[in-house]
Amino acid sequence: MSKKAFTFISRTAPYGSNRPKMSLDAALATAVFEQEVNYLFMDDGVYQLLANQNGEPIQAKTLGNALETLDLYGIDEVCVDYESLQKRNLEAGDLTIPVTLLDATQMRALINQSDFVINL
Amino acid sequence: MSKKAFTFISRTAPYGSNRPKMSLDAALATAVFEQEVNYLFMDDGVYQLLANQNGEPIQAKTLGNALETLDLYGIDEVCVDYESLQKRNLEAGDLTIPVTLLDATQMRALINQSDFVINL
Amino acid sequence: MSSLHTISRSSQHELLQACLKIINPGDEILFIEDGVYYCCDKKSLSLISRDNYVYGLREDLVARGLRDKQDALVEVVGYHKFVELTVQHSKTVSWF
Amino acid sequence: MSSLHTISRSSQHELLQACLKIINPGDEILFIEDGVYYCCDKKSLSLISRDNYVYGLREDLVARGLRDKQDALVEVVGYHKFVELTVQHSKTVSWF
Amino acid sequence: MTAYQFARNLLDQGHDIYRVFFYGDGVFTLNALAVSPQDEINLPQAWHQLIESHEIESIACVSSAISRGIINPREAERHEKDSVSLFESSDIAGLGQLVDAALQSDRLINFG
Amino acid sequence: MTAYQFARNLLDQGHDIYRVFFYGDGVFTLNALAVSPQDEINLPQAWHQLIESHEIESIACVSSAISRGIINPREAERHEKDSVSLFESSDIAGLGQLVDAALQSDRLINFG
């Protein structure tokens, strides 16, 4: 079976809902199948990447730490919508892992070359 | 027991979620207890009042019809945030029941005089 | 490699803005569920390029009292066409 | 008859705007859950009148990596104070 | 989670809970069949223990509960189901119990 | 509801469904204990019938299902629960089944 390109788009904040965790789990499962996996954070999704998270006081797993495993699963294309970051007064240095900042043209190209685009 | 003033605020569109129905059911239950009930529609909640709804094609109960029962339960203060209506290019004539249009000052007074304010 | 984009929540959720950031020429948009409120929202619809054709799902428009109120830009379709659209495009991107 | 307003979702959901439409002088605002992102959002905070004191829940700030990043306008409190605030005000209005 | 932490702190501070009323998707919080991953809190279990240890009255709204399959033996029999899913520390009743609680209590606090 | 109508129309038009995968809160759609008001559609029941009559493979994601108390006899035994809640027309399996379905099918359609 040939390798397909999956792009996961995550647009929601961590902890407030289960969606970021669902998206991450699905992406990791896809990586296990040795497919090409891209991860794109947009809108409130960029909050998932903030450094110094600590889920302990609300008895939740720290999502920021979980995202650090993307690398271990061979998902190296972790992309962020630059505009979403700017709008929240954040910059790459505020984030817990290295990311690729994309503008609209680059995001369009990423979506266009993907076989599957999964918003979770 | 003295009569208390309950104000229900409904801010979400019908059908897409269960929240409008939850709000309506809670308001009707409150009216059954012979309390003062005010109903305030804000933001997407004003869509609940649109005339000519018909839930049949999506196998749902028609919420617009259900709102017509507010009157039967003695809930006559059905209020709408005028700004939310305007923002959606709607006017009172587009709605299925008669409503009282409120500006911010009037909404503040309504909330201030309420013993309970319930957002559902 | 064109895409069908389904949008299923009202403008309060800003899904159209997110979708428009990544949409490609030739992609099409289908408004479903609470997304059909966009079908009567000239201002939001004006943000969509003419390169992207726009549909609204009839069942959801009827339920919400919007049938015959949709903008002229929007083609009203049923589930039959919804299925066909997912076949015509190589992938479907669902915004919810 | 003052109120405590709790806001529990991020600015993407525009709960603060709705709350500010109906807030009265002397009412207070407590940001909880995803609402705590507002605590670092100068622009949104500037919409709040000085007649309305603003709190952020510590546990939710810490979880999200926002501890010590909140604006000077925001007083950080724990659950103990959260309970006290609901007692001090005659009613609590929850925005979610 | 917030509601649970709030309830615990409220009790620690010497206040009383007249009733907890679970409405809408909130009734899933009373699902006795839920199992959490080992490193995460089991919120239904935590609520169940809090309710039992403090003898709190806990009600799941009947229409919310049965439409979501959160049922006790009584509702299971009525609707001819073989299983039950509601913790036995909670009961099923109508929305009147919410209105009554608002009227009987000093404060009504709502969590989304 | 939209996903159900879509699936029905797709089958009517002569297409095949390789697999339906329920994830997150979607697993509640497979809750056999849910009872709807008489004048409303029982969506879990409708899905169950569609799945049975067309012999569709239907999977509930294991982590989503057990954390939400949607369990079959196998999971009930494993986690020492007395009740089951999953329709017997569906099975419980891992996320790999979603990835496999994407790779084996001509189209993957996602509903929120």
pLDDT digits (tens, 9 = 90+) for F55-104: 999 999 999 999 999 999 999 999 999 999 999 999 999 999 999 999 99
Ranges of residues in chain E whose predicted pLDDT is under 50? none
Q: Which of E17, E61, E66, E71 is labelled catalytic? A: E61
Round the average pLDDT of chain D to a whole number and report it: 97
Contact A111 C24 (CB under 8 A): yes
The two tokens of residue B90 are: 């709607």
E14 phi/psi in degrees, rounded to 5: 90, 5
Pairing of strands B5-10, D91-95: unpaired
Is residue F28 part of the annotated active site? The answer reads no
pLDDT digits (tens, 9 = 90+) for D2-42: 999 999 999 999 999 999 999 999 999 999 999 999 999 99
Please determine, for the modelled complex, whether the ipTM score is greater than 0.85. Answer: yes
Output b/e per residue, A10-35; b: 16+ Cβ within 10 A: bbbbbbbbbbbbbbbbbbbbbbebeb
| Closest-CA residue to C54 (of C33, C34, C39) | C39
Which residue of E100, E103, E110 is in closest CB contact with B118?
E110
CATH class of residue range C3-95: alpha beta
Q: For residues B29 and E95, is the Cβ–Cβ distance under 8 A? A: yes
Extended strands (E) in chain C: 3-7, 28-31, 53-57, 74-77, 91-95
Using a CB–CB cut-off of 8 Å, the residues of C that contact F are: 8-9, 32-33, 59-60, 79-80, 82-84, 86-87, 91-92, 94-96
pLDDT digits (tens, 9 = 90+) for B75-111: 978 999 999 999 999 999 999 999 999 999 999 999 9
Q: How far apart are CA E97 and CA E60, in angstroms?
A: 10
Q: How far apart are CA C95 and CA C5, in angstroms?
A: 7
Residue of chain A whose Cα is closest to the Cα of C2: A112
Domains along the sequence of chain F with CATH:
2-13+20-104 (3.40.1260.10)
Which residue of C14, C24, C94 is in closest CB contact with A108?
C24
Q: For residues F107 and F67, is the Cβ–Cβ distance under 8 A? A: no
Domains along the sequence of chain B with CATH:
5-119 (3.40.1260.10)
Which residues of chain D make contact with A96, given a CB cutoff of 8 A?
65
Counting one residue from B and one from F, how many pairs have CB atoms under 8 Å apart? 11
Q: How far apart are CA A26 and CA E65, in angstroms?
A: 30
C26 phi/psi in degrees, rounded to 5: 95, -15
Per-residue pLDDT at A2: 78
Residue with tokens 């204990």: F33
pLDDT digits (tens, 9 = 90+) for C23-70: 999 999 999 999 999 999 999 999 999 999 999 999 999 999 999 899
Contact A108 C94 (CB under 8 A): no
| Closest-CA residue to D56 (of D72, D74, D82) | D74
Instruction: Spell out the SS3 assignment of chain A.
Output: CCCCEEEEEECCCCCCCCHHHHHHHHHHHHHHCCCEEEEEECHHHHHHHECCCCCHHHCCCCHHHHHCCCCCCCCCEEEEEHHHHHHCCCCHHHECCCCEEECHHHHHHHHHCCCEEEEC
Q: How far apart are CA B69 and CA C59, in angstroms?
A: 25
A100 phi/psi in degrees, rounded to 5: -100, 120
Q: In this structure, which amino acid lies at residue B75?
A: I
Q: How far apart are CA E101 and CA E108, in angstroms?
A: 8
Output b/e per residue, D25-62; b: 16+ Cβ within 10 A: eebbbbbbbbbbbbbbbeebbeebeeebebbbbbbbbb
What's the DSSP call for residue D25? T
The two tokens of residue A95 are: 């984030």
The two tokens of residue F11 are: 């089958």
From first to last of its 120 residues, chain A has per-residue pLDDT tens of 679 999 999 999 999 999 999 999 999 999 999 999 999 999 999 999 999 999 999 999 999 999 999 998 989 789 999 999 999 999 999 999 999 999 999 999 999 999 999 999
Domain ranges of chain D: 3-95
Q: How far apart are CA A60 and CA E19, in angstroms?
A: 27
Query: B–A contact (≥3 CB pairs within 8 Å)?
Result: no
How far apart, in Å, are the Cα atoms of C65 and each of B41, B45, E41? 17, 14, 44
Which residue of C37, C42, C63 is in closest CB contact with B55?
C63
